[in-house]
Amino acid sequence: MSGPLRVEISDLAKAQVRAAEQWWRQNRLKAPNAIREELERAAALISLQPESGALARNVSLPGVRRIHLTRIRYYLFYRVVSDREAIEILALWHSSRQGAPPL
């Protein structure tokens, strides 16, 4: 691999991001763009260092990793898709929720 991997977002993750952003903008007036900022920061990190996230042991899909976005208290679930040389973001899941996202 040379250079950063392309970052793709699943339809499920897109819907979760939209919902989180909508709620955040209405309820976190001092930092209305925090969701977007943290996702951009996380995408930049995992595109360069795909193994930076911990293996997600509570999901059935193999090879899924997660990183905790501390500022916004969400987990970002993703995996490396080798044949496309890409990172696929699978879900955005609040850390207070029990279990794992439906992947």
Q: Which CATH superfamily is domain 6-94 in?
A: RelE-like (3.30.2310.20)
16 Ramachandran zone, left/alpha/beta (phi>0; psi -120 to 50): alpha
**Does the pLDDT value for residue 99 go beyond 90?**
no
| Mean pLDDT of the region 1-27 | 92
Confidence at 93, pLDDT banded by 50, 70, 90? very high
| Mean pLDDT of the region 2-25 | 93
C-beta of residue 94 within 8 angstroms of C-beta of residue 73 = yes
